[in-house]
A = this chain, B = another copy of it.
Amino acid sequence: MSALKFIALSGTTGVTQNLYLYEYENDLIIVDCGVGFPESDMYGVDLVIPDFTYLRENAGKIKAILISHGHEDHLGALPFLLKEIKAPIYSTRLVAGFIEEKFLDYGVRNMKVNVFDPERDVLTFGSFRVTPFRVSHSVPDGVGFAIDTPEGRVFHIADYKFDWTPVDGRPFDVGKVSALASEEVLAVASDCIGATTPGYTESEREIEGKIEEIAAHAKRQIFLTTISSNISRMQQALNVAGRAGRKAVFIGRSIERKAEIARTLGYLHYPRELMTNPKQARKLPVDGLMYIISGSYGQPGSALYRLALKEHDFLSLQEGDVVIFSSDPAPPGSKANVDFVVDKLIEANADVHYYDMQEDLHVSGHGSQKDIEMLFALLKPKYFIPIGGTIRHMRAYSLIAQKMGAKAGDVFELTPGQVVEFRGKSAKIAGKIPVKDVLVDGLGIGDVGNVVLRDRQTLAKDGIAIVLLTLDRIQGKLTSDPEVISRGFVYEGKNKRLLTVSGSLLSKELARKPKLDAKIARDATIEFLERYFFESTGRRPMILPVVVEV
């Protein structure tokens, strides 16, 4: 008997790397295909992407890839997926613009994104009929999907909040959702990351007044930074600049490119004469400028970072300049970078408005507890699947559903790879597809795994000691004292003696063995030096014996 399968290939326990599958007989559709970011102990790793094994094995079934909105953790892994399978991509216009820009970066050719209109289009893919609808989030043009399946209607709503006054004037399409929900709703898979935050999430609109207030008091240049996908925030900054009689300048490649895409596609509006360029800007009075600059996470090398460190090619920061961070320091590790940049800006006597000041210069893009309750009240689904959060967010989401009458068993808190099977209006966990995180490091995709990472962790902590052993194969003896070279272990300038002594002691130790061969010499070296170095330094460097047989 056939069944609908919902597969959380990844994205339920780590916030990012969103990738969900709907499968029915020979039809499979993918919703979102995002990247993740390395944990702090994944040294050297650039990106984490989902495991595409299952998709490769079922490539023939894949009818469509739907993308919900323009954030990296929902679309960033597309170039990697498209190396493995071919399938048509569907999104709204702005999201398509962002995806095609990404394809340029990765050299993906001949892939056009199919643009749908969430006001009127309905898409059919084999057994699935998909009706998109507008949601509000911190990037414009996001959508949710009502997915009609042979087992019933499922709502898939990735990152969203209920913002009735969004900057782009297009709020969550609650009317359409109500109409779609008037038929029985089998299940909802929706964003859970706000489930631990009380109340409703504030509207993006609130921020514009705060920026305006700061601009009103500014007597010099203003630098406003936000993440490059936050087109609405850019729009607000441009609105403020216009009213304040300031000219605006985009600074930084990511901001410039995203703004250009948004403007061309009609998502960012401003009169031509509002903008100027850095060269013209020099001729304008310092109280007549607003820069919209990239680097809101304090990324080393970003435009704002270089400005703060007085390393920027053509911009310079003066005493009394105003810097506005209009974003949270969100990704792991970024708080330290933001703090560093803020400190440098303050040292240069800029007037800095940042997260610590609690001036409400940023609001979350994710619905909080009350938004989640409202969604559940609208949809009245039979089953619930929290996505886009972590274990603690899934549990908090489940408690909200239970408070509203669901049974604990109606909520599926999935770990990556887990499958929910819907059959005859009832749902159950039906196994788990084996998946692992795939690490991208430089040009390598998936070749860095536990072995390499464990080595990097050992090397990072205590470095390495390389031991050169010259072995007379026939005699079974060393021909000379082992030579010990280290990196990242001790400062050789000061500790040369430690290494020399370790070589002679090791030599004596090895001389006790009746007859050495390469393996015996290696094992004994590791055993002896691990103990010796730990006793004399308290450290455990990696010991790497290299045997030369003569």
Q: How far is the CB of A343 from chain B (nearest CB, A)?
A: 4
Contact A485 B395 (CB under 8 A): no
Interface size on A, residues (CB 8 A): 66
Given contacts A441-B538, A536-B443, contact A468 B544 (CB under 8 A): no
Task: Kindly supply a per-residue 1/0 record for chain A positions 176-200, scoring 1 wherever the CB is within 8 Å of any chain B CB and 0 otherwise.
Answer: 0000000000000000000011100
Contact A357 B491 (CB under 8 A): no
Contact A491 B39 (CB under 8 A): no
Contact B538 A444 (CB under 8 A): yes
Main secondary structure of the interface of A (DSSP, over half): mixed
Task: Kindly supply a per-residue 1/0 record for chain A positions 390-416, scoring 1 wherever the CB is within 8 Å of any chain B CB and 0 otherwise.
Answer: 111001000000000000000000000
Given contacts A40-B40, A441-B538, contact A466 B466 (CB under 8 A): yes
Q: Which residues of B contact A464 (CB under 8 A)?
A: 459, 464, 487
Contact B485 A546 (CB under 8 A): yes
Cβ of A461 within 8 Å of any chain B Cβ, yes or no, is yes
Contact A343 B447 (CB under 8 A): no
Cβ of A331 within 8 Å of any chain B Cβ, yes or no, is no
Q: A15-44: which have CB < 8 Å to B?
A: 39-40, 43-44
Q: A477-513: which have CB < 8 Å to B?
A: 485, 487-491, 493-495
Q: How far is the CB of A405 from chain B (nearest CB, A)?
A: 21
Q: How far is the CB of A323 from chain B (nearest CB, A)?
A: 12
Cβ of A104 within 8 Å of any chain B Cβ, yes or no, is no
Cβ of A451 within 8 Å of any chain B Cβ, yes or no, is yes
Cβ of A301 within 8 Å of any chain B Cβ, yes or no, is no
Cβ of A121 within 8 Å of any chain B Cβ, yes or no, is no
Q: Which residues of B contact A13 (CB under 8 A)?
A: 343
Q: Which of B198, B444, B452, B490 contacts A452 (CB 8 A)?
A: B490
Given contacts A391-B343, A456-B460, A489-B452, contact A44 B196 (CB under 8 A): no
Contact A343 B442 (CB under 8 A): no
Contact B443 A538 (CB under 8 A): yes
Known: A343-B392, A470-B548. 5 other contacts (CB 8 A): A43-B461, A44-B460, A444-B539, A456-B460, A487-B544
